[in-house]
Structure 1
Amino acid sequence: MNQDSSKAVVLPHDPHSFSKPQDAIIQHVDWQLVVDFAQKQIKGHGIYQIKHQHSSEIVLDVRDLNILSVRLDDAAAEQAFSVSAPVKYLGQALRIPLQKETNKVTIAFETTPQAAALQWLSPAQTAGKEHPFLFTQSQAILARTWLPCQDSPGVRFTYTARVKVPSHLLPLMSADNPQEKNPEGEYLFKMDQPIPSYLLSLAVGNLEFRPVGSRCGVYAEPETIQDATYEFADTEKMLEAAEALYGPYLWGRYDLLVLPPSFPFGGMENPKLTFATPTIIAKDRSLTSLIAHELAHSWSGNLVTNATWNDFWLNEGFTVYFERRIMEVLYGHDYSEMLHTLGYQDLQHALQDDLAGQPKDTCLKLDLQGRDPDEGLTEIAYEKGNYFLRHIERQVGQERFDQFVKNYFGTYQFQSMDTTRFEEILEKELINGDATLRDQINAKAWIYEPGIPAGIEVPHARKFDQVQEQLQLWESGTSPADLKTQEWSTHEWLFFLRGLAKNLNQEKMESLDQAFSFTQSGNSELVAVWLQHAINHQYEPANARLEEFLTHVGRRKFLVPLYKALLEQPDGKARALELYRKARPNYHAVATSTFDDMVGV
């Protein structure tokens, strides 16, 4: 296993980083950090081990970060440095002159209130309501707002971190983690496998740990830990299924941290410690495909990483495909086909609505020059990427494709991958000169042309045929109570809700709500879709739940459709603005950067 972060791979230019890793590159960092909740600030320094060929400088990325001092090697004297003028989205270039033999740089720094990666939560925003909470979100290019780094997914390094926190709180990182608090509040973290900066993470809160297997466990607030432990009981089985498909898990432990509901994503695949939203705790294990997704990132993304954010589909397309293969092993083909079918619906919605008029953004290979790379985080990378891989699988057969994917992860582990290089690997390792197969796969069209190539087989879940029958019965007058829904999973209910007519009257809405309690459901996936219907049909009994949902849940996947639905109503602008002003203090900067423009704050 090659874990050399300086492995000689020619990296493409990263338009979202000032760093020049071809001249001077970080290989390892030892950080010392103090988490100050009173000042809402992280302070400390890092000792950066670097490699260069007599380069005159090393360039790092920073944004809204105070650089206090710089020293070279073991010199007592401070080294002059410069910070460039800020560039929108990118922040600033930290330029540090180097001596000919310099191999170590020490940087002291402190975060500012504008640090977009950090969310400092008050006790009222947590499950326990007694202790504050801090968590980071570094993807895509926010690591530079809390640590100086070469903030490109093409640069990998190992690290340690000594972290000081209040003694009644427990810190966790994307590293080997403690399982209980110590009275000093001081902790040492180690990450021995090289990772890119977007996978740096830190969370600090009143947390407990429970094992759910020999290599897997759950961290959560005491008020949440029991439900989380039940919900994620199959995690070790997922890990075993993943290894059986595509090779050994190379990160030691795989643990989960359930964050407060303001977390802007479903999950974040920080190595060794997935961050997860509490909105997947449905108390019936029905939403745990998200855990399979984040686990799959331990291979696709964390092990073989997109070289730039223009190649984001290489992370997410492979991960969605892998996630559903795991779910197929555990729960059967019919179950995984429901996930594929719902995903195809999401893809069609993106193509026809979200990205209508933006054909370039529906290509797998993106051009995000001058844009926030977060704009590439769409269903194209996830679902079109998955659909492309499913298409290849159909052309060559599952067994042959599995061997290709397994070899891909094994051969290119701890390396970065760009789209051009992947095409070369696909040609060499799978197509292997077969012109007919090359034409059938049609990679160029999938990768570089908008939309989906014509004539591609559409996913079809047999279980949804039964849901469609019940939906038609209801539309023809059957009482909701008489529908055969008793054995439905969340996925079948989602298909049902997505299939509802767009012009329901109040009586129809009320009858559904009385029969199935959608407004008060504890399943966030179902509530989010139901609330869209409630907005569109002015169903007032759901107004209080809508306000509660928007002000407590920060998951952007749910919020975007709800605010869009509000804004499309006759009085929507004023109502959306009123709700957003109440909700905004609970949202992470990743979410507010989207909604400030959308709502017009």
Structure 2
Amino acid sequence: MSQTISSTIQPNQDPHSFSKPQEAVLKHVDWDLTIDFDKQQITGTGVYRLEHSQRLEVILDVKDLTILWVKLDDAPSEEEFTLSAPVKHLGQALRIPIQKHTRTVTIAFETTPQAAALQWLAPEQTAGKVHPFLFTQSQAILARTWLPCQDSPSVRFTYTAKVKVPSHLLPLMSADNPQQKNANGEYLFQMDQPIPSYLLSLAVGNLEFAPVGHRCGVYAEPETLPDATYEFADTEKMLEAAEALYGPYLWGRYDLLVLPPSFPFGGMENPKLTFATPTIIAKDRSLTSLIAHELAHSWSGNLVTNATWNDFWLNEGFTVYFERRIMEALYGHDYAEMLHTLGYQDLQHTLQELAATPQDTCLKLQLEGRDPDEGLTEIAYEKGNYFLRHIEQQVGRQRFDQFVKNYFSTYKFQSMDTTHFLEILEKELINGDEALREKINANAWVYTPGIPEGVEAPHAAAFDRIREQLQHWKEGTPPAALHTQDWSTHEWLYFLRGLGPNLTKDKMQELDQAYSFTQSGNSEIVAVWLQHAIENDYAPANARLEEFLTHVGRRKFLVPLYKALLEKPDGRQRAKAIYEKARPNYHAVATSTIDDMLQK
């Protein structure tokens, strides 16, 4: 990179954190944690190493967390601390007075039943039905609900953790992990690369490990492990393809953990250990672009991190772009273009949904005073990707690849905000070329609602034949007579999305009889089909809908289905009845969204 701008970024204050890292910042933490399944509680201590200016206070974020005591350095006596009044979404500021010479603060704490990051699962909620399970979800600002931290993506630290669990269970973290249980249930974890708090993770369950490459492996319950290892067999190839594009993988191992179905996301890019939903196990490796996505986060997000959640597109736009480059390298241009085209459809749908709040369709978000999860839309993901594809088209792939590779290398293990990124884009890629600046039109993409005019939409040639078959069906050709042999999941999704509204029961029934959509084991396909079933009052799918909503906790599927129910005349009562049964199986990330939907 050019020397015209600094390779060290100093972000502004994060509106979603009380901490003031410019005055006193965490650099390393040594945690000692005990996991109690009977009490459903984590108790622990953390020794926090600080760097600070002459300010005599360190501020941490906590929410629904009990602070037992605080000590400074090696002092035997407890130190006074204060907790601010609770603030909606943010929790409380934990303020600890320190001395000019203070280097460590030790904090004892315990979680409460309200800890939104934690999901404690009873044995019947797991694949094996015998042992309990615990997992965390710290993104965006939920790490503060299970341990004190400076809960901002602009603060990075290394850590160790001693973790005590029941001896028949295995704990895993976003760190170097054991591959088998030991006799005493005590484990030591180490993370030598600095990470932000939202990438802190912990899972505890009856887990086993299987390798799928010399740097990659899969953890899962024994009942799930064979299908998972088959599904994720190409992980090492993905890792090699990613390195060939944008430089070496700097995290050591890349392993996957398959969680119970209540996990609220498709995946979570916890460093060294991606958390993954079992809903991507389709038994044909057709949904593994999600693994490419989480792997790509090892560069975009984990290596160069959005400084605040207003800059979320810098994590997700780059990751979607990178994910599809990995899939193109492995499976070809046509495959990647199908992903881009489906993503573009998702983006158009989101733009329609957010029409009443157009500022939420800018890449640079304004989330102060709001839950940062409100920024988790296709704007960050697909508009961000679309913008980067647009830049690539203007400068050429080779030149853009060199820019991205240098970007990851120069700013690794740092946080990046939108303003600084645009400065880098200007100085390292546009480089004074006025015509190119106008073509890229970065400010319009970043600060203006919607999509700039005149930008070409993606087109997957593989979908042309799907449109042809759709047209035949709409003109009366029976489904069984359509040419659907060897269609991929992506082609079926395009077909289902193109069915249109107001389908008769007979039309729904003939499709279902021909293709068994209601009983499909592919979660992506069945989720779209069930939406059609709700909208068109297709009663034969009612039992499958209830089963799906009761057992699957992935928010991507839940929200459209509950929304479709609420739009039906009798739907609110039906949605509430299903939700009453299903809610205990959902993580707080999902329940907070659906609670709001059902209360409106």
Corresponding position of 2:140: 140
Shift of 1:525: 0.1
Corresponding position of 1:433: 432
Question: When the two structures are superposed, what TM-score results if normalisation uses the length of structure 1?
Answer: 0.98
Within 5 A, what are the aligned runs for 1:123-138?
Answer: 123-138=123-138
Corresponding position of 2:201: 201
Corresponding position of 1:396: 395
Corresponding position of 1:250: 250
Output the CA distance in 2 between the equivalents of 1:16 and 1:565.
32
Output the CA distance in 2 between the equivalents of 1:586 and 1:261.
8
Corresponding position of 1:452: 451
Corresponding position of 1:303: 303
Q: CA RMSD in A?
A: 0.7
Shift of 1:387: 0.1
CA contact (8 A) 1:66 1:112 kept: yes
Output the CA distance in 2 between the equivalents of 1:41 and 1:76.
26
Output the CA distance in 1 between the equivalents of 2:596 and 2:448.
29
Output the CA distance in 1 between the equivalents of 2:511 and 2:195.
49
Amino acid at match of 2:25: I
Give unmatched runs, 5+ long, in structure 2.
1-6
CA contact (8 A) 1:54 1:101 kept: no
Output the CA distance in 2 between the equivalents of 1:413 and 1:209.
30
Corresponding position of 2:381: 382
Corresponding position of 1:52: 52
Shift of 1:597: 1.1
Corresponding position of 2:272: 272
Corresponding position of 1:66: 66
Shift of 1:245: 0.1
Shift of 1:246: 0.1
Residue by residue over 1:229-275, the C-alpha shift from the partner in whole angstroms, topping out at 9 and shown as x without a partner, is: 00000000000000000000000000000000000000000000000
CA contact (8 A) 2:8 2:414 kept: no
CA contact (8 A) 1:247 1:406 kept: yes
CA contact (8 A) 1:64 1:112 kept: yes
Shift of 1:100: 1.1
Question: Relative to structure 2, which stretch is displaced further, 494-503 or 476-485?
Answer: 476-485
Shift of 1:54: 2.4
Shift of 1:476: 1.0
Shift of 1:140: 0.1
Q: Is it true that 1:413 corresponds to 2:393 in the alignment? A: no
Q: Is it true that 1:502 corresponds to 2:501 in the alignment? A: yes
Output the CA distance in 2 between the equivalents of 1:585 and 1:90.
24
Question: When the two structures are superposed, what TM-score results if normalisation uses the length of structure 2?
Answer: 0.98
Output the CA distance in 1 between the equivalents of 2:235 and 2:433.
40
Amino acid at match of 2:513: Q
Output the CA distance in 2 between the equivalents of 1:457 and 1:477.
33
Residue by residue over 1:68-93, the C-alpha shift from the partner in whole angstroms, topping out at 9 and shown as x without a partner, is: 00000000000000011100000000
Secondary structure of 2:224's aligned partner: helix
Shift of 1:306: 0.1
CA contact (8 A) 1:231 1:284 kept: yes
Secondary structure of 1:341's aligned partner: helix
Change (3 A) 1:8 1:59: farther
Name segments (4+ residues, structure 1) moved above 2 Å. Answer: none
Output the CA distance in 2 between the equivalents of 1:257 and 1:482.
41
Within 5 A, what are the aligned runs for 1:438-587?
Answer: 438-587=437-586
Amino acid at match of 2:268: M
Shift of 1:501: 2.0
Residue by residue over 1:113-155, the C-alpha shift from the partner in whole angstroms, topping out at 9 and shown as x without a partner, is: 0000000000010000000000000000000000100000000
Q: How many residues align?
A: 594
CA contact (8 A) 2:316 2:381 kept: yes
Shift of 1:9: 3.4
Amino acid at match of 1:69: W
CA contact (8 A) 1:577 1:600 kept: no
Output the CA distance in 2 between the equivalents of 1:44 and 1:321.
40
Residue by residue over 1:174-211, the C-alpha shift from the partner in whole angstroms, topping out at 9 and shown as x without a partner, is: 00000000010000000000000000000000000000
Amino acid at match of 1:529: V
CA contact (8 A) 2:9 2:416 kept: no
Output the CA distance in 1 between the equivalents of 2:286 and 2:182.
36
Output the CA distance in 1 between the equivalents of 2:566 and 2:443.
38
Secondary structure of 1:222's aligned partner: coil
Output the CA distance in 2 between the equivalents of 1:39 and 1:135.
15
CA contact (8 A) 1:241 1:326 kept: yes
Secondary structure of 1:438's aligned partner: helix
Amino acid at match of 1:537: N
CA contact (8 A) 2:258 2:277 kept: yes
Secondary structure of 2:312's aligned partner: helix
Shift of 1:429: 0.4
Corresponding position of 2:98: 98
CA contact (8 A) 2:9 2:420 kept: no
Secondary structure of 2:263's aligned partner: coil
Corresponding position of 1:3: none
Amino acid at match of 2:216: C
Amino acid at match of 1:566: L
CA contact (8 A) 2:8 2:411 kept: no
Secondary structure of 2:223's aligned partner: helix
Output the CA distance in 2 between the equivalents of 1:414 and 1:73.
27
Residue by residue over 1:492-533, the C-alpha shift from the partner in whole angstroms, topping out at 9 and shown as x without a partner, is: 000000000201111110110011000000000000000000
Output the CA distance in 2 between the equivalents of 1:500 and 1:11.
47
Residue by residue over 1:351-399, the C-alpha shift from the partner in whole angstroms, topping out at 9 and shown as x without a partner, is: 01x2121100000000001000000000000000000000000000001
Corresponding position of 2:324: 324
CA contact (8 A) 1:81 1:96 kept: yes
Output the CA distance in 2 between the equivalents of 1:12 and 1:265.
29
Shift of 1:8: 5.7
Residue by residue over 1:466-501, the C-alpha shift from the partner in whole angstroms, topping out at 9 and shown as x without a partner, is: 000111111111111111111100000000000002
CA contact (8 A) 2:33 2:162 kept: yes
Output the CA distance in 2 between the equivalents of 1:22 and 1:455.
43
Q: Is it true that 1:285 corresponds to 2:285 in the alignment? A: yes
Output the CA distance in 1 between the equivalents of 2:72 and 2:251.
32
Corresponding position of 2:39: 39
Amino acid at match of 1:36: D
Secondary structure of 1:285's aligned partner: coil
Secondary structure of 1:227's aligned partner: helix
